[in-house]
Amino acid sequence: MSQIIPVARALRGEIAVGEQVTVRGWLRSKRDSKAGISFLAVHDGSAFDAIQAVAPESLANYASEVLKLSTGCAVEVTGELVASQGKGQSVEIQASAVTVVGWVEDAETYPIAKKRHTFEYLRTQAHLRPRTNTFGAITRVRSTLANAIHNYFHERGFNWINTPIITGSDCEGAGELFRVSTLDLANLPRDGKGGVNFEADFFAGEAFLTVSGQLEVEAYCLAMSKVYTFGPTFRAENSNTSRHLAEFWMVEPEIAFADLADDADLAEDLLKHLFTRVLEEREDDMAFFQQRIDKTVIERLRGVIDNRFERIDYAEAIDILQNCGRKFEFPVAWGTDLASEHERFLAEEHVGRPVVVMNYPKEIKAFYMRLNDDERTVAAMDVLAPGIGEIIGGSQREERLDVLDARLDDHQKEDLWWYRDLRRYGTVPHAGFGLGFERLLNYVTGMENVRDAIPYPRTPGHADF
């Protein structure tokens, strides 16, 4: 009897040499020797590497099937696990049976037959790209990072809160909105004043896709003390850059009885934990990214893990940038936001490790951030990391109703009645931040475009699959 095993278990040495095993997967490549032996690289997604199966011509279907196999075919291989003579692998399978489960219709037109494709091309084959080395590795690292995030919070007593995707509020203030509707566009109900009667829509009013779960998760923070969201968020911005998606996943923790310093500590501890875990758990995939995608990527993660994050005030950052002798494309002045070039200078050149910039001018930050005693700045922070710039943005929230109200207009006050309630009933200092998951994944893998960090990217003009 042979046991069915994931390839990863054999490669990790968990199966003894001499055992009868069966692996099931897809052919990555095949080489037929003149001596009448075929070498099949069988991949099942469980590890970065395929396992080599050696198929002798004595197999009954050798000529009729094995010789005709091409990249992408699904196979089941049974045989003895043996020590490998070849380079780069410790074990291989001496096949006693090769069963073809699914053929590739035409090897010549298989869309990912060739070894090298551009990432742009592979985006048009989003349903097949996880079969490539790069996207298989991204998939495993993404899943590992996500699991590390959930467990980091769960083990520390945080509750995962599934904040709503559809929201009737248009006041969250982080960008342009997608409308969600069931109205018949060919036959819109009218309100008698020339406008659309949204009372007739599914939610009896206008509804949009969320840009952030923060406001809603704050309500849970003020009941459960430690909470986080981790879910999809949306921006209807017409941005065609390597850093923007219309649909992306965001991690947003929120902690009660906490100030901006606590927030920065949480951000630092979380990033260090995640990077440690991915280096441990996905050593094979990370070696690939290091070798083929970005030769600095492991060193960069180690730099985050091993160094205490610097903390500087925004005002100090402006001083540094103005007096560093460097000429920047964008001008530096108190009151303006930092551009990417400034952020990277601070993290990469001035400090040489991650840095948390704190206390920004209130005019450039959102209404919910806590006003500092100087009345010019708010308790906001950005975590800047070498190689990427901003990776986390957060703040202490304004917990004082009168101060919050002074930053809200009448429409916001009405729309956010429930958010204001949180300040009327048992308000406490609290803080949180947002971590864009695809940008994090790019940071970890060295991939450059967030479209390659999510299975099916949504961008202007693209909602395929």
CA distance 316 to 349: 15
Which C-beta is closer to a second copy: that of 334 or that of 418?
A: 418
- Binders of a second copy among 294-323, rule CB under 8 A? none
223 interacts with a second copy by CB under 8 A: yes
- Binders of a second copy among 96-125, rule CB under 8 A? 101-105, 110-111
Q: Is the dihedral of CA 302, 307, 311, 317 positive or negative?
A: negative
Kindly list the distances between the CA atom of residue 377 and the CA atoms of 207, 401, 430, in Å, as whole numbers in the listed order: 33, 18, 17
Q: Which listed range, 164-172, 284-292, 308-316, 364-372, lies at the site for a second copy (CB under 8 A)?
A: 164-172
Q: Is the dihedral of CA 37, 86, 41, 123 positive or negative?
A: negative
165 interacts with a second copy by CB under 8 A: yes
429 interacts with a second copy by CB under 8 A: yes
Pick the closest to residue 210 from 175, 257, 245, 158 (CA basis).
Answer: 175
Asked if residues 7 and 23 have their Cβ atoms less than 8 Å apart, the reply is yes
Pick the closest to residue 444 from 154, 148, 244 (CA basis).
Answer: 148
- Binders of a second copy among 225-254, rule CB under 8 A? 225-226, 231-232, 234, 236, 238, 246-247, 249
- Binders of a second copy among 397-426, rule CB under 8 A? 399, 418-419, 421-422, 424-426
Pick the closest to residue 387 from 347, 438, 339 (CA basis).
Answer: 347
Smallest separation (angstroms) from a second copy to the CB of 361: 27
Which C-beta is closer to a second copy: that of 86 or that of 102?
A: 102
Instruction: Report CA 232 to chain centroid distance, whole Å.
Output: 10
Asked if residues 196 and 188 have their Cβ atoms less than 8 Å apart, the reply is yes
CA distance 81 to 73: 22
Which C-beta is closer to a second copy: that of 82 or that of 183?
A: 183
φ/ψ of residue 268, rounded to 5: -65, -45
Smallest separation (angstroms) from a second copy to the CB of 96: 19
74 interacts with a second copy by CB under 8 A: yes
Query: What does the block give as tokens for 364?
Result: 């450039």
Instruction: Tell me if residue 105 falls in helix, strand or coil.
Output: coil
Smallest separation (angstroms) from a second copy to the CB of 132: 9
37 interacts with a second copy by CB under 8 A: no
CA distance 274 to 145: 6
Smallest separation (angstroms) from a second copy to the CB of 66: 15
Which C-beta is closer to a second copy: that of 126 or that of 378?
A: 126
- Binders of a second copy among 39-58, rule CB under 8 A? 44-46
Which C-beta is closer to a second copy: that of 216 or that of 343?
A: 216
Q: Which listed range, 59-67, 354-362, 404-412, 456-464, lies at the site for a second copy (CB under 8 A)?
A: 456-464
Count of residues that interact with a second copy, criterion CB under 8 A: 109
Interface residue with a second copy, options 256, 357, 369, 385 (CB under 8 A): 256
Q: Identity (one letter) of the amino acid at 196?
A: V
Smallest separation (angstroms) from a second copy to the CB of 179: 5
Pattern 175-204, binding to a second copy, x per CB under 8 A? -xxxxxxxx-xx-x-----xxx-----xxx
Q: Is the dihedral of CA 240, 451, 232, 183 positive or negative?
A: positive
